[in-house]
Structure 1
């Protein structure tokens, strides 16, 4: 599918080792997300952070990554993708060390921002460089890349979690080790790669897209507490306005950082929709299943992790299967359609969950969802590096994780809003049916929110009835949320089918 590439590339003498090097660089982002979510609570407690400080500290790396990802992809195109990736590996080392040695809020945030910049480059450029190291075997290389991503992320996250148990500071040193290994491997095995034609700089476009991504992601991330909040509306308004300005500016710039017209290609636009779909599914599955298991089944965090292992294993198989099926001549469009259909089916299966649902039902949904998600991501990823012209591979590859971050945040916010909105409307009515007055309702709901139920209340028939009602309300809200997202995923699938209509013959 990929034609000859007029870029200043070297030759990967050992393509397998080069793909391994890129995989190690790319896996840093998945590991960082897992470890940061675990370590932030301990770090915040040590520093005595307020709720707003903790929220900002937790998202600083993500926002930095979103703000810089297209800029770093463009720098890679202009000055060298391998060189830029190696500098980003160094940023991972520096950022992790600064975070681990931080003495307070300011230095902690500084370390996370530096790490976010490193993650932006290692993720975007490791994908872009696949076109350099395996120009005639992109589907196979993408399969190996994503299979390795899943396979490496799990043990590294487990090791990091164990280190966090000793000290949260040790957990932040895992990504620097990954960055150091990636630096060495990419220096040895990955050839130089940059565009022959250095395009004009586009600072206005890069600033606009940075503001757009920060505004949209931060606004959506806070929307679970209320979409009508002035803060949420301001951030979303700023983000959407900047995105509109970016699209208008790029359509008129003679050499834009990311030509928006390139997304008129039906294969690439279909890949963008697919990317949004499976990232949203990952967010909904991870969050809602975790909450259901903890609230209704009493799972501990480690039990939740073990319970979701079938999805992780299935993701590895899905990434591997994508490469095998592509090698055997299956059109990528057909594989993406199959994967998105599987995502919708998995969401429907998970919607069956309730207070007494056996684990094997969840396991089936996790296996179907994990396999389908990675089948889709692995296959769709090749369009981000196959479709763009040679001098824009880095910038276009950077758009993939940008879309993924925004859709993941949207999935978290929408699912939380649906779930808690349904509980907020349903629980008071059900409590009223039991004869609980409005003033008593606030007291009872406070018990559950704080997890501190008086002993006298526990030995009361009314408490048992209230508990049953609360469980039923939560199950109803969970099921409605999953049904709504099943419909959303079906709509995504239909849109992708429309975009891919008539394109398979050209693949």
Structure 2
């Protein structure tokens, strides 16, 4: 009986282990579905802004807050959400974030006033921050084998990079057929389904950390500081960098960040443990994430303007125009990135991918005012797709696995916050430069040569392009695309 019992017990244990391993891929699908829902919603709203403005009779100034309310709360709560996932049960936080996002989507769908819609968007941002930061941390800790973790990261990279483009396409279809409220209502069945199946695929996060407590002073300080920094970038793109409001907001953000650093040095359980910044790889990865997100956000924004105002594309056609880059990223991320990392490590794919992205941006820099999509947009998109497909996975891997698994949430929150700040800052700088260089019949004059976003002066026979100030023009607010690339 002994040997038989041991054999039987070993078989049961092996079977349970195999079942858990199989369940991890179901958990990955669940987490990626949740991330895709958040990324889609962030972009699809931009397509709906003209319809929302017409139905709710919102002024242009108030309309910008339909986007900005989400941007501020999402970016502001990422660090707090990520660290909370390290200290408390990640599964419960994930469910709480999904429930809040779903309930806020219902509030947005039935909104009858600008105030209620803006409030719903702000709550969506808080819920979205929880889902994204905690979800990425769970993906990191679910897969401890490097090869399988790289494959999981490749899938996540595809979802993160493709969500924005799919949002533009889906938004165009839903708004044309059902109306703008459908972009929020569709979140209800998806969100409830994710919540319902979460217990089956996701185990509890970190049980047995009953003594842990959140650094509330640090959380309030850094959340406020990040929100002020994002608001300062938004204000700079419309009022200019020298405007008193911009200067006050950015100075307040800098003061808040300095106070946060001071508080963290004295905290027993800091929101961002100092040991994180002892990792040179993590610091470099976050710095590169800021620069890349600044470039990619700005490229998407100006490319959307170019396709709509120069080439005459509709919003739906513009979304389809971005598909080549999305598909190439998907293929490269899933088939090439993990193999490259396994063979040569993360450094060469990151450098090579960044180089291809730079060349792609440079190609877009030479798009003339009388250009065409096949000759002047598609080549850059192919290069950007190749570069992004090779780079995003090793970058995310480096930024989230260069520390202990107990800090995976904090590392995830830091990466996402870096990307949010990079996107907002890069777009604010380049939108301001584009507005400064506009003159007479010029379309989008030089914006920033280093990022390859300058356009040649427009020929007289083509109509001029008005460069909106980040969110003041509802029909071209594409800047919120791709949050965790």
2:229 to 216, 229, 235: 216
Residues paired across the two proteins, number: 430
Distance in 2, Cα, partners of 1:180 & 1:375: 34
Does the CA contact (< 8 Å) of 2:87 and 2:213 recur in 1?
no
Distance in 1, Cα, partners of 2:36 & 2:73: 18
Distance 1:327 1:347, change over 3 A: closer
2:181 to 169, 178, 196: 169
Residue 377 of structure 1: CA displacement? Answer: 2.1
Task: Tell me the residue number matched to 1:83.
Answer: 92
Matched, 1:361 2:372: no
Task: Tell me the residue number matched to 1:186.
Answer: 198
Q: How does 1:98-247 map to 2 (within 5 A)?
A: 98-136=107-145, 137-150=148-161, 154-155=165-166, 157-165=168-176, 166-194=178-206, 196-197=208-209, 198-225=211-238, 226-247=240-261
Matched, 1:397 2:412: yes
Q: Secondary structure at the match of 2:242?
A: coil
Distance in 2, Cα, partners of 1:124 & 1:23: 12
Distance in 1, Cα, partners of 2:35 & 2:115: 27
Distance 1:203 1:132, change over 3 A: same
1:474 to 443, 456, 464: 443
Distance in 2, Cα, partners of 1:366 & 1:380: 20
Distance 1:169 1:400, change over 3 A: same
Task: Tell me the residue number matched to 2:477.
Answer: none
Residue 52 of structure 1: CA displacement? Answer: 2.8
Which piece of structure 1 moves more, 178-187 or 320-329?
320-329
2:48 to 35, 39, 51: 39
Residue 395 of structure 1: CA displacement? Answer: 2.0
Does the CA contact (< 8 Å) of 2:350 and 2:394 recur in 1?
yes
**TM-score relative to the length of structure 1:** 0.79
Does the CA contact (< 8 Å) of 2:45 and 2:171 recur in 1?
no
Which piece of structure 1 moves more, 268-277 or 386-395?
386-395
Distance in 1, Cα, partners of 2:110 & 2:422: 33
**TM-score relative to the length of structure 2:** 0.82
Post-superposition Cα deviations, 1:389-425, rounded to whole Å, max 9, x if no partner, equal 232211221111111111111121111111111124x
Distance 1:322 1:216, change over 3 A: farther
Distance in 2, Cα, partners of 1:245 & 1:139: 37
Does the CA contact (< 8 Å) of 1:140 and 1:327 recur in 2?
no
Distance in 2, Cα, partners of 1:300 & 1:155: 15
Residue 256 of structure 1: CA displacement? Answer: 0.6
User: What are structure 1's unaligned runs of at least 5 residues?
Assistant: 1-9, 428-469, 489-507
Distance in 2, Cα, partners of 1:374 & 1:239: 34
Task: Tell me the residue number matched to 2:475.
Answer: none
Distance in 1, Cα, partners of 2:390 & 2:162: 15
Does the CA contact (< 8 Å) of 2:48 and 2:171 recur in 1?
no
Task: Tell me the residue number matched to 1:412.
Answer: 427
Does the CA contact (< 8 Å) of 1:276 and 1:403 recur in 2?
yes
Distance in 2, Cα, partners of 1:53 & 1:482: 29
Post-superposition Cα deviations, 1:104-129, rounded to whole Å, max 9, x if no partner, equal 12221221122111110111111100
Q: Secondary structure at the match of 2:443?
A: helix
Does the CA contact (< 8 Å) of 1:274 and 1:376 recur in 2?
no
Post-superposition Cα deviations, 1:244-301, rounded to whole Å, max 9, x if no partner, equal 2222322332321112441231111121022112211221111112222333333332
Distance in 2, Cα, partners of 1:153 & 1:291: 15
Distance 1:129 1:149, change over 3 A: same
Does the CA contact (< 8 Å) of 2:233 and 2:246 recur in 1?
yes
Task: Tell me the residue number matched to 1:269.
Answer: 283
Does the CA contact (< 8 Å) of 1:65 and 1:119 recur in 2?
yes
Q: How does 1:243-262 map to 2 (within 5 A)?
A: 243-262=257-276
Q: Secondary structure at the match of 1:353?
A: coil
Does the CA contact (< 8 Å) of 2:140 and 2:401 recur in 1?
yes
Matched, 1:50 2:63: no
Distance in 1, Cα, partners of 2:351 & 2:166: 31
Does the CA contact (< 8 Å) of 1:280 and 1:408 recur in 2?
yes
Q: Secondary structure at the match of 1:481?
A: coil
Distance in 1, Cα, partners of 2:55 & 2:418: 34
